[in-house]
Amino acid sequence: MNFDAVRRWPDVESPDLRAWDAADTLILDEAAAQLAGDLTIIGDEYGALTLGALDGGAARVRVHQDSLAGELALAANLDGLDHRPRSLPQSLPLSRELVEGARVVLLRLPRSLEALDQIAALIAAHAHPDVVVFAGGRLKHMTVSMNEVLLRHFDTLDVTHARQKSRVLIARGPRPGAEAEPRRRFHDDLDLWVVATGGVFAGTSIDIGTRALLEALDRAPAYESAVDLGCGTGILAAYLARRDPSALVLASDRSAAAVASARLTAEANDLRVRVTQDEALAHEPAGSVDLVVLNPPFHSGAAVHPGVSTALFEGAARVLRPGGELWSVWNSHLAYKPTLERIVGPTRQIARTPKFTVTASQKGS
């Protein structure tokens, strides 16, 4: 398999942001003798594991990618193949259907132990008793705690030799039990339940950037429609829906875990919020929204990458009506104000601390 042909989408390409790494090739090499069958693949960021498995003879592939960008990249990479595979991979949510009866699972280890516990419990509960899980990652992101999580759900765990700063954990002997439940936490200061599935950013806590934006939002203008862009667990969407119950509030994120969490948070607080998995609001009509709130990520995977935030600013600018506003919080050292003024419109500072800046950018006519 020529991985040089595997591309990311839709992030800005960069020489140090490849769509695959040595962990992908090591997982495929360790599982090579068992690729020619029915596979489940979890956490395949841009499709390298799926394409490698198909190249290795896989007859059927079920795949779960948390990020919508990953699904789009896989589809684009499949279209770019010189020879169409015998069967196309089936994209599925992180659910029983994904792993039921599976004998081989290829897994890119998530950085969150809660996410790993959710995945391991799901496999152990529904995969075939003879399932073998090849779970790999980069050494710098792996911890002994990952071994402990896997050994809660499997009888044996073999650890491969490291290669090119990567390693694979091979788990066998599933111990079926209950699937991991979403975590819930009540925040007295906000009178708010926050619900989180395994891999969502910040879990049930409220990160300090979101808190900084929440403290400023009481000064935001009135709205009939509002969007929590990159919603995570949906805390900002919950605030918007509670502040004006008559408003149309949307929570949107590229992450399947975030979308599931935001939906559960809205339900737990009995709030009316529409939740969608989308890429920078690509499916929302232009000029349709009064207010967008955003606590943007500035990482793509483990790498700092400004293109992630820029794409969200562009999505917000597209859906805002003339005179509508984007309220955003960002790490002060990133100095996003010129970018916001270029993409959205005149930008004023609402609040600033040594760590965070909150701005409001108004869409022009």
Tokens for 307? 């293109």
Q: Which tokens belong to 167?
A: 């390693």
Q: Single out the residue of 216, 291, 280, 217 nearest to residue 247, CA to CA.
A: 291
Q: For residue 114, give both structure tokens.
A: 């809660």
Assign domain 3-174 to a CATH class.
alpha beta
Please check the confidence at residue 17 and state whether its pLDDT lies above 70: no
pLDDT score at 226 = 98
> Tell me: the pLDDT tens digits for 152-185?
999 999 999 999 999 999 999 999 999 999 999 9
CA angle 178, 264, 62 (to 5 degrees): 55
Residue 12 has a pLDDT of: 43
Residue-level pLDDT at 142: 97
Tell me whether domains 3-174 and 183-362 share a fold. Answer: yes
Q: What is the pLDDT of residue 16?
A: 46
Question: Is 90 exceeded by the pLDDT of residue 300?
Answer: no
How far is it, in rounded angstroms, from Cα 361 to Cα 341?
7
Q: Strands 299-300 and 303-304: what pairing?
A: antiparallel
Specify the CATH number for 183-362; select among 3.40.50.150, 3.30.43.10, 3.30.1490.20, 3.50.50.60.
3.40.50.150
- Collect all residues with Cβ–Cβ distance below 8 Å to 70 and sequence separation of at least 6: 44, 45, 46, 47
Check residue 199 and give its pLDDT: 85
* Phi-psi category of residue 337: left, alpha or beta, with phi > 0 → left and psi -120 to 50 → alpha: alpha
Please say whether the beta carbons of 18 and 48 come within 8 A.
Answer: no
The pLDDT value recorded for residue 4 is 59
Per domain, the residue ranges of the chain are: 3-174, 183-362
DSSP string for residues in 123-182: HHHHS-TT-EEEEEEEGGG--HHHHHHHHHHEEEEEEPPPBTTEEEEEEEEE---PPPPP
When pLDDT is averaged across residues 331-357 and rounded to a whole number, the result is 94
Axis-axis angle for helices 256-268, 235-243 (nearest 10): 40
Element (H, E) at 62: strand 60-64
Contact yes or no for 45/108 (Cβ under 8 A):
yes
Strand, helix or coil for residue 347: strand
User: Of all residues in the chain, what percent are helix, strand and coil, respectively (each to 5)?
Assistant: 35, 30, 40
Task: Please check whether residue 22 is in contact with residue 163, taking contact to mean a CB–CB distance below 8 angstroms.
Answer: yes
Give the tokens for residue 243: 């502040």
Taking the model in full, what pTM does it have? 0.92
Among 65-69, 79-83, 317-321, top mean pLDDT goes to 317-321
DSSP calls for 275-325: EEE-STTTTSPTT-EEEEEE----EETTEE-THHHHHHHHHHHHHEEEEEE
Q: What pLDDT score does 104 carry?
A: 98
Average pLDDT over residues 202-217: 95
The sheet carrying 60-64 orders its strands as 90-91, 60-64, 38-42, 104-108, 132-138, 166-174, 154-159
Per-chain mean pLDDT for the chain:
92
Tens digits of per-residue pLDDT, 121-136? 999 999 999 999 999 9
- Residue 84's Cα: distance from chain center in Å? 28
Q: How far is CA 153 from CA 89, 173, 272, in A?
A: 27, 8, 37
Paired with 279 in beta bridges are none
